[in-house]
């Protein structure tokens, strides 16, 4: 009998005895899936993170403990896993996929939260960005929340609705809650949690960074928009055309942010990239400009570096010349990718892993993959 099967069945027994029948059922399902023969070291798992015991309501005196209720507690594994999961809270529920790198559990590892764009899903976004391959090489978790059609017909994150733009409300609270639950269920370094997204996902990543600066150490906004630039669908369409009225920003959130935007983007006007930067560093920050020539057939780009008073770079804005609305340097295995652009995945990870909530990070043991 597989040792993880035994572990999960024992946990299911404990959950049943405690009265948490929903979590027990999920644990049994995960155990049965674990008990099936595996064809390779890389396997699909199922995980359920249920932050509220809806079956037996009772007063909650410890919010953190309530949000940490998990149906599976997988021991460390030597192979990598791309598991499906389900999260729910009083704000709503979402499916997700979680990439667990090899040797997870040996030591705390970083977590990168990836928010897909409209019409995409977790598998599509993972394939197009090649983020799981980078995670396998460098050693970090990747969480892919999934927006269902029931919440938006095009599977867009609802960044443009006023009730999905603040801490403690709507989708930002669901996503932050999912992030915290993943941190509690796995060996994740709480000082090195990051969020990235494309298009609508990029706009929601910007909102999360602004609303939860104590949770996310840095953000990547690719082809997205600034928090608060729209409050409904008409203003969203205007903002996407570059005609929106961005909120007045004096002091930014302070969350380090890297921004990518193609200067031929006809879906989200490139001027929105400047608004994202202002939301991070404030309205008065002046950048240093660097020309980034493309190598071989790669696109040229211009990089703008924004520093704080101490001279530390706290934000980057990449203008990718000739690029449209697509993840730069992505693979043709996913949608909305541009393989001729600079490698946004590698540059994002370089930017992320130089930063943590506690300050600068030590050098990583693995170097970014060549592309």
Q: Check if the beta carbon of residue 218 is closer than 8 Å to that of residue 258.
A: yes
Domains belonging to the chain, first-starting first, are 1-78 (no CATH), 108-360 (3.40.50.1820)
What are the φ and ψ backbone dihedral angles of 259, each rounded to 5 degrees? -125, 135
- What is the pLDDT at residue 251? 73
Q: What is the pLDDT of residues 329-351, one digit of tens each?
A: 999 999 999 999 999 999 999 99
What's the Cα-to-Cα distance from 301 to each of 202, 294, 319, 320, rounded to whole Å?
20, 7, 5, 4
Mean predicted confidence (pLDDT) in 82-110: 94
- What is the pLDDT at residue 360? 62
The DSSP result for 105-174, as a single string, is TSS-EEEEEEE--TT--HHHHHHHHTHHHHHHHHT-EEEEE---TTT-TT----TTSGGGSSTTSHHHHH
- What is the pLDDT at residue 62? 36
311 vs 158, more confident: 158
Mean predicted confidence (pLDDT) in 71-92: 74
Q: Check if the beta carbon of residue 70 is closer than 8 Å to that of residue 30.
A: no
Q: At 205, list the tokens.
A: 């990543």
- What is the pLDDT at residue 181? 96
**In the predicted structure, residue 287 carries a pLDDT above the cut 50:** yes
Q: What is the pLDDT of residues 27-64, one digit of tens each?
A: 444 444 444 333 333 334 455 444 332 222 222 333 33
- The helix (H) or strand (E) run that includes residue 30 is helix 21-35
- What is the pLDDT at residue 23? 46
**In the predicted structure, residue 201 carries a pLDDT above the cut 50:** yes
- The per-residue pLDDT of the chain, averaged, comes to 81
Q: What is the CA 69 to chain-centroid distance, rounded?
A: 21
- What is the pLDDT at residue 34? 41
Q: What is the pLDDT of residues 176-192, one digit of tens each?
A: 999 999 999 999 999 99
Q: By percentage, how much of the chain surpasses pLDDT 70?
A: 74
């Amino acid at each position: 009998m597989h040792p993880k099967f035994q572990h999960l069945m024992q946990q299911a027994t404990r959950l049943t005895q405690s009265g948490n029948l929903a979590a027990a059922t999920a644990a049994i399902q995960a155990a049965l899936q674990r008990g099936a023969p595996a064809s390779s070291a890389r396997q699909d798992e199922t995980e359920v993170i249920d932050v509220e015991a809806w079956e037996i309501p009772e007063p909650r005196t410890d919010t953190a403990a309530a949000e940490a209720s998990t149906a599976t507690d997988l021991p460390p594994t030597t192979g990598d896993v791309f598991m499906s999961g389900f999260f729910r809270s009083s704000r709503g529920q979402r499916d997700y996929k979680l990439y667990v790198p090899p040797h997870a559990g040996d030591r705390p590892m970083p977590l990168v939260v990836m928010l897909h764009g409209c019409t995409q899903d977790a598998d599509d976004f993972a394939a197009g960005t090649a983020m799981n391959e980078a995670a396998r090489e460098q050693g970090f978790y990747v969480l892919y929340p999934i927006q269902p059609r029931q919440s938006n017909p095009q599977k867009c994150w609802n960044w443009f609705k006023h009730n999905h733009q603040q801490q403690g409300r709507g989708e930002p609270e669901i996503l932050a809650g999912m992030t915290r639950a993943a941190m509690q269920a796995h060996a994740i370094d709480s000082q090195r949690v990051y969020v990235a997204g494309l298009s609508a996902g990029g706009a929601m990543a910007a909102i999360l960074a602004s609303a939860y600066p104590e949770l996310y150490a840095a953000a990547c906004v690719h082809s997205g928009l600034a928090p608060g630039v729209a409050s409904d669908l008409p203003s969203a369409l205007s903002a996407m055309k570059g005609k929106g009225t961005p909120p007045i920003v004096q002091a930014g959130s302070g969350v380090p942010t890297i921004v990518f935007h193609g200067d031929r983007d006809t879906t989200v006007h490139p001027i929105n990239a400047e608004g994202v930067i202002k939301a991070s560093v404030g309205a008065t920050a002046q950048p240093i400009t660097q020309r980034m020539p493309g190598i071989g057939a790669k696109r040229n780009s211009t990089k703008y570096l924004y520093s704080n008073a101490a001279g530390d770079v706290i934000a980057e804005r990449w203008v990718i010349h000739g690029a449209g609305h697509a993840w730069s340097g992505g693979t043709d295995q996913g949608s909305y990718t541009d393989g001729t652009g600079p490698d946004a995945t590698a540059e994002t990870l370089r930017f992320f892993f130089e930063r943590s909530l506690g300050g600068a990070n030590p050098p990583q043991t693995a170097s970014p993959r060549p592309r």
